[in-house]
Amino acid sequence: MTDSTIIYTQTDEAPLLATYSLLPVIRAYAATAGVTVETRDISLAGRIIAQFPERLTDEQRIDDALAELGRLAQTPDANIIKLPNISASVPQLKAAIAELREQGYDLPEYRDEPRTDEEKDARARYDKVKGSAVNPVLREGNSDRRAPASVKSYARKHPHRMGAWTPESRTNVAHMTADDFRSSEVSTVVEQAGDLRIELLGDDGSTTVLRDGVPVVEGEVIDATAMHVAALREFLSAQVQRAKDEGVLFSVHLKATMMKVSDPIIFGHVVRAFLPDVFAEYGAVLAEAGLSPNDGLGGILKGIESLPQAAEIKAAIDRGLEQGPALAMVDSDRGITNLHVPSDVIVDASMPAMIRTSGHMWGPDGEEADTLAVIPDSSYAGIYQAVIDDCRAHGAYDPTTMGSVPNVGLMAQKAEEYGSHDKTFEIPTTGTVRVVDASGSTLLETPVAQGDIWRMCQTKDVPVRDWVKLAVTRARATGAPAVFWLDAERPHDANLIAKVRAYLPEHDTDGLTIEIMSPTEAMAYSLERIRKGEDTISVTGNVLRDYLTDLFPILELGTSAKMLSVVPLINGGGLFETGAGGSAPKHVQQLVKENHLRWDSLGEFLALAVSFEHLAQKDGNARAQILADTLDRATGRFLEENKSPSRQAGEIDNRGSHFYLALYWAQELASQADDAELAAAFADLAKNLEANEQAINDELLGVQGSPVDIGGYYRPDVDATTTVMRPSATLNEALATLG
């Protein structure tokens, strides 16, 4: 029997809780094929703990599992199933630290303004954990995301609800037209490997080294750009007024989790633009109290409670909210606005949700309304305007007939903007930022003013070659046209277009349709085909990969969590991601309140099947292939029988869905004819689960309706959570018989 290993990640919130219920099923079934399933803790709490080994007891210490998996991802042996994890904003990071300290972990405080060397060291360690710290480490390959046939077929037969669109809709996107990241970009291709230096030459004659020792390789595309703050402020003030004049909701859509340096700063400027009088009068008082608009209005409202002027500042904020346009809400009932928390409204999730809901967001009155969606940078904002224009002209999409837009995404080795955080700076003084090589030659330079946001991006040549190859492979496998979404007017994209044109002839493209179009043209082309029921492969950079793999699945399937997300690692391993829908904090709240977890593990089922398939091919493990094939069939039946979790307590939840997957999978394994020994091993289990279906359901549903204590949010107690997530003794005993 082949000894193969799958690494299953322990992450955060709802997917972590689901793991307590699903993993015992996976381990029991995998063992029959000689497959060991190990876990690695890459949760936010786990990553925090791993940063401070010298402060903790032996029992508390844990290894840096993320660093270990980063090394594993660069080997042919990697087979990693990656569940969604928290991309921590500062408020989330502080909450996790506070919880761990309560649990007895001797962790330092997170200081917004660290002063001592010790505080600066702690802050630097915490900053490694902040934002989207996990995915760039693991993604040592490009991305292949698509809706599996079983999921697409189910969506066509059981369409999700789509809000109607009318030609009268006043919803639009607002973006800058100059002085933003797109307009300011300069780009070049590196001719020889070495280390680069980023320096700021101040108009006052000073030279500040912003970053030294940025390694580059031959053929790498590098670019530099700046968001000019004076233009940003002017633009934002104009949009606040425009929303008021047009009588639509004002909303801003950024990605403060992934773009953890630039976007919280931009978010802070939005808060200032919406409440100009508050910051004109009380800005200094708030700053003195350590309250920053970058952390959102929620942090300011909480922080002013201890100030002497609390009442007058609160009154000024209320007045500002009253005088401005109506503000889009995250939670109308609780008064949580679009500007409360930077990580509450994330563009790749919020824009598709708005488009799916007739172009509406929720207003302060609890009603839906048309919206001005502010996306300051013009690099990708136009794609959303193109969808809105298409819906205004032709109505909502029809999930029963619409085509699909699978994605081939460039993301290996921290490609493009999503690898720029360590090279992003808020500029302290007016001057010029230069990127200089070891010989002192200037490769890129950008004029900047104080407060501008400057960044440098890197895109290595090997990932680009691999991306082109993957695009051709998927076009050949499906017969669908493959469209590279690249803008010839943008310097970075122009350099990529040259590489794409150079590498395409290395592959057999005979009979394939392969195009290069600007993002807005590519969107219009894809939408036209969608309405005809035709599929179009989007071949995109890293940001559009992220945006489109939420947008199209949400329109097609109602969620991005049902996508198959495969990362063929460049060195031969496999990374299998389980959906793109985040880690669902509201699901955890519902579990704690009424012992019902509505998390849908379909993404885990899909990833597990391709993980087994990868093992079968790599290790020659025939039984792993049988597990993959039978799991695919079981998942198809699971969908047809409608055993996904309900939102309502007292009905099937995540745990019940795992029981039905175990039942259908056991039945498929018992009835397959490729391996008689394996069929015999599952025959008794299948009969046992069938015979006890009612008893197991009674045990799973019987616990619902009452609050439960799992002993922590960011780091729940293992025993307490196991008890909550495995309440059926009958099911647990049945699985134990498989050994």
Nearest residue to 417 (alpha-carbon basis) of 501, 492, 520: 492
Structure tokens at 124: 């630097």
Q: What is the DSSP letter of 173?
A: E
CB 117 within 8 A of CB 31: no
- Between CA 1 and CA 723 the distance in angstroms is 33
3-state helix, strand, coil in the chain (%, to 5): 45, 15, 35
DSSP 219-277: T-EEEEEEE-HHHHHHHHHHHHHHHHHHT-EEEE-B-TTTSTTHHHHHHHHHHHHHSHH
Shared domain for 127 and 237, answered yes or no, is: no
- Between CA 122 and CA 117 the distance in angstroms is 9
- Between CA 728 and CA 694 the distance in angstroms is 11
- Distances in whole angstroms, Cα of residue 739 to Cα of each of 4, 121, 125, 676: 17, 49, 43, 17
pLDDT number for residue 136: 85
pLDDT number for residue 582: 77
Q: Domain tally for the chain?
A: 2
Q: How many CB atoms lie within 10 A of CB 437?
A: 17
Average pLDDT over residues 672-694: 98
Nearest residue to 295 (alpha-carbon basis) of 92, 93, 130, 90: 90
What stretch of H or E contains 408?
strand 407-409
Shared domain for 36 and 93, answered yes or no, is: yes
Q: What is the DSSP letter of 54?
A: G
296 part of a folded domain: yes
Structure tokens at 668: 């498929």
Shared domain for 100 and 176, answered yes or no, is: no
Q: What is the DSSP letter of 704?
A: T
Shared domain for 94 and 240, answered yes or no, is: no
Query: What global pTM score does this model have?
Result: 0.87
Please say if the pLDDT value at position 108 is more than 60: yes
CB 470 within 8 A of CB 144: yes
Instruction: Indicate the pairing of strand 207-216 with strand 194-202.
Output: antiparallel
Nearest residue to 414 (alpha-carbon basis) of 46, 70, 9: 70
132 part of a folded domain: yes
Shared domain for 116 and 243, answered yes or no, is: no
- Between CA 321 and CA 337 the distance in angstroms is 10
Domain edge (last residue) among 394, 424, 458: 394
Average pLDDT over residues 264-270: 97
491 part of a folded domain: no
Shared domain for 90 and 176, answered yes or no, is: no
404 part of a folded domain: no
| 373: CB partners within 8 A, 6+ apart | 171, 172, 173, 174, 251, 252, 253, 351, 354, 384
Q: Output the furthest CA–CA distance in the chain (Å, rounded).
A: 82
pLDDT number for residue 656: 99
Average pLDDT over residues 604-615: 96
296: left (phi over 0), alpha (psi -120 to 50) or beta: left
Shared domain for 130 and 63, answered yes or no, is: yes
Lowest mean pLDDT among 193-197, 575-579, 690-694: 575-579
Shared domain for 656 and 715, answered yes or no, is: yes
Q: Using DSSP, state whether 362 is helix, strand or coil.
A: strand
Side chain identity, residue 141: G
The pLDDT-based confidence of 559 (bands split at 50, 70, 90) is confident
pLDDT number for residue 581: 65
Domain edge (last residue) among 376, 394, 412: 394
Mean pLDDT over each residue of the chain, to the nearest integer:
96
CA dihedral 176, 177, 180, 186 (to 10 degrees): 160
- Between CA 454 and CA 186 the distance in angstroms is 12
Shared domain for 588 and 662, answered yes or no, is: yes
Q: How many CB atoms lie within 10 A of CB 99?
A: 17
- Between CA 396 and CA 179 the distance in angstroms is 34
Please say if the pLDDT value at position 278 is more than 50: yes
pLDDT number for residue 580: 64
pLDDT digit string, tens, across residues 372-425: 999 999 999 999 999 999 999 999 999 999 999 999 999 999 999 988 999 999
Please say if the pLDDT value at position 649 is more than 80: yes
Please say if the pLDDT value at position 2 is more than 60: no
Shared domain for 104 and 240, answered yes or no, is: no
576: left (phi over 0), alpha (psi -120 to 50) or beta: beta
CB 717 within 8 A of CB 711: yes
120 part of a folded domain: yes
The pLDDT-based confidence of 1 (bands split at 50, 70, 90) is very low
461 part of a folded domain: no
Q: What is the b/e burial string over 133-155, where b = at least 16 CB atoms within 10 angstroms of the residue's CB?
A: bbbbbbbbbbbbbbbbebbbebb
197 part of a folded domain: no
CB 359 within 8 A of CB 165: yes
CB 606 within 8 A of CB 564: yes
- Between CA 724 and CA 594 the distance in angstroms is 11
What stretch of H or E contains 622?
helix 622-640
Place of tokens 């495995």: 726
pLDDT digit string, tens, across residues 314-369: 999 999 999 999 999 999 999 999 999 998 899 999 999 999 999 999 999 999 99
Residues, the chain:
739
Structure tokens at 384: 């959303």
DSSP 470-537: HHHHHHHHH---EEEE--TTSHHHHHHHHHHHHHGGGS--TT--EEEE-HHHHHHHHHHHHHTT---E
Place of tokens 């997170």: 110
Domain that holds residue 664: 4-140+569-736
Strands ordered across the beta sheet of 431-436: 207-216, 194-202, 431-436, 442-448
155 part of a folded domain: no
pLDDT > 70 in the chain, percent:
99
Please say if the pLDDT value at position 739 is more than 80: no
DSSP 73-108: TTSTT-EEEE-----B-HHHHHHHHHHHHHTT----
Domain edge (last residue) among 366, 394, 422: 394
pLDDT digit string, tens, across residues 450-461: 999 999 999 999
Q: What is the b/e burial string over 273-304, where b = at least 16 CB atoms within 10 angstroms of the residue's CB?
A: bbbbebbeebeeebeebebbbbbbbbbbbebb
Shared domain for 89 and 176, answered yes or no, is: no
Shared domain for 132 and 176, answered yes or no, is: no
- Distances in whole angstroms, Cα of residue 294 to Cα of each of 262, 363, 419: 10, 23, 21
